[in-house]
Structure 1
């Protein structure tokens, strides 16, 4: 059985560092035997199909291939359509109303519990808010991610120790769910 996945690459093509041209990424993924490979934007989003492996093994395989080809380590998360759809449907914020820059999802490599973020005092960051989901954190930042004090607090290395995390804006969350469902 073939499953369609999204690969979320962390920290590529940002500020001139870790350059991964999307055409080369597609070729690399096709060389791994993945089918229907498409990329979305320049920020490390790819959709593909595979009949072998599971999310963690596909992520490890792709990360190793990227390191061999481009010479640097890139964190990779792989998620299937069912998961991406569940994340979209579980959004606790009115994502249909605010601009996409106001709602973001941080995807985690493994489940995280609320205790990890206990040192972050939600009232100190209002009107910004966050909620935890299934291997995901939803962030409402009315002035955008770049100006979000809460996003900075939530991304402190000690809070994310041992967990791969990568964030996407709401437009990308929606588009990846749609692309994997097509």
Structure 2
């Protein structure tokens, strides 16, 4: 049975779309998902399901709308896909003494070649990014909140739904999925 990680976009941010993690876990369990684990308040849910990723995503979006009256974009990846994201990082070494930090933006679908080319025009010396498949790897050399390459910017430039997690969260989700799977 596949083990998935659902990344909910835009919950519990600035007092908007507030969802307690125990309520979120209950919703996932009520949908028949198994071995459900939530992690931190930003909307990370690990679970097992026999269904395919598109069906799982559509069911989750529909159920959240039904139960909470929130339209919440959801990005789904398998645990193996998460591991691949970590293994493919172009930023294997960072300079922590210079406050470099890694972030991963997960895309809902492949952006067009035109949109990717447009995004490339925004490369700069302060922060850098690389798009590999459905993943944007960010190397932030200052505060993420001050970076041009925040989630809203990437969504707007790429024209797809996206959600961003820091490197530590991505790795913690893999660990939790393996321990609880």
Work out whether the TM-score is over 0.5: yes
Q: Is the 8 A contact 2:116 2:158 kept in 1?
A: no
- Which residue of 2 is the match for residue 79 of structure 1? 77
Instruction: State how far apart, in whole Å, the 1-side matches of 2:151 and 2:8 are.
Output: 20
Consecutive unaligned residues of structure 1, counting only runs of 5 or more, are: none
TM-score normalised by the chain length of structure 1: 0.88
> How far apart, in 1, do the equivalents of 2:151 and 2:110 lie?
20
State whether residues 34 and 47 of structure 2, in contact with CA within 8 Å, keep that contact through their aligned partners in structure 1: yes
Contact 1:114/1:132 (<8 A) preserved: no
Give the secondary-structure state (helix, strand or coil) at the position aligned to 2:163: strand
2:174 maps to 1:172:
no
User: Structure 1, residues 104-142: CA drift from partner, whole Å, max 9, x if none?
Assistant: 11101112355313234355x213100011211001111
RMSD: 2.2
Q: TM-score, normalised by structure 2?
A: 0.88
Q: For 1:3 and 1:132, locate their aligned partners in 2 and report how far apart those are by CA, in whole Å.
A: 26
Alpha-carbon separation, structure 2, partners of 1:113 and 1:175: 31
Residue aligning to 1:67: 65
Gaps of 5+ in 2: none
User: Are 1:53 and 2:51 an aligned pair?
Assistant: yes
Written as runs of structure 1 = structure 2, the 5 A alignment for 1:133-172 is 133-151=132-150, 154-155=153-154, 157=156, 159-161=157-159, 163-172=160-169
CA contact (8 A) 1:87 1:134 kept: no
Match runs of 1:1-150 below 5 Å: 2-50=1-49, 52-94=50-92, 98=96, 102-112=101-111, 115-120=114-119, 121-123=121-123, 125-150=124-149
Distance 2:84 2:110 in 1: 15
**Superposed structure 1 runs of 4+ greater than 4 Å apart:** none
